[in-house]
Amino acid sequence: MESRKEFLRKKLLELGAVKFGEFVLTSGKKSDYYVDIKDAATDPQVVGAIGDVFSHMVSAKVIAGMELGAVPLLVSTSLSAKIRYVIIRKERKHGTGKLNIGEIVPEERVDIIEDVVTTGNSILKTVNFIRESGGIATKAYCVVDREEGGKELLLENGIELKPIFRISELRTR
C-alpha cells in the first residue's frame, strides 16, 4: 500500500492539488492554500489510487459520505473493496425527499469517507445522520487532513479520523 500511497502523493502534487493564494474555505475560514481533491479526482489514476488506498484502510462493510466531494471516492473505494456505499445529501430533494442514497441498516457499522477535513463539521453532519438512522459510525477517513482542529472535534464526538495524508506531508515536499 505504501507504494500506492507514494504514487498518489506524487500525482496530487503533480496535478496541483495543493494551491497557494487567497482562498475562502467551505467552513468560512480564510486560508493561504487550498486542497483541491475534487478536481484531482477527475483523473482516473488519482481516483483509482484513492479508492485502492481507502479499501485497505476501511474496516466496515459499508461506507458513506456527503455529496459532492465524497461521491467519486465512495464509488472508487466501493469498487476496490467490493463493499456498499451510501451518499448523504446536503438537503432533501424532490421525489422521495430522502437525504440518503443507499441503505443505512440499523446497528450496521458504517465508515465515513471525505476528501478534505478542516473543521470536521461535514463529517460530523454525516455521522449524526447515520447515527439518527440507526447506523454505527466511529471511524472516518479522508484524503487530506488540514490539521486545523477537525481531528479533535471528531474525537470529542466518538469518531477516529484516519487521513491518507496530513497537510504537513504535502506542503513540505
Q: State CA 133 to chain mean position distance.
A: 20
SS3 116: strand
Q: Does 155 map to a domain? A: yes
* Predicted pLDDT at 98: 86
The residue segments making up the domain with residue 126 are: 50-171
165 occurs within a structural domain: yes
More confident residue, 49 or 98: 49
**Integer Cα distance of 148 and 69 in angstroms:** 19
User: What helix, strand, coil percent values describe the chain, rounded to 5?
Assistant: 40, 30, 35
* Residue 135, domain member (yes or no): yes
Residues 125-144, mean pLDDT to the nearest whole number: 97
4 pLDDT above the threshold of 50: yes
Residues 6 or more apart in contact with residue 73 via CB below 8 angstroms: 37, 41, 47, 50, 51, 54, 65, 113, 114, 115, 143
- Region 27-45: mean pLDDT is 92
C-alpha cell recorded at residue 35? 486542497
Q: What is the CATH number of the domain that holds 164?
A: 3.40.50.2020
What is the per-residue pLDDT across 60-101, written as a single tens digit (0 to 9) for each? 999 999 999 999 999 999 999 999 999 999 887 777 778 899
> In which band, very low, low, confident or very high, does the pLDDT at 2 lie, cut at 50, 70 and 90?
low
Q: 122 lies in a domain?
A: yes
Q: Is residue 39 included in any domain, yes or no?
A: no
Total number of domains constituting the chain: 1
> Would 43 be classed as within a structural domain?
no
Q: Could you tell me the pTM of the whole model?
A: 0.93
Residue 38 belongs to some domain of the structure = no
Residue 126 within a domain: yes
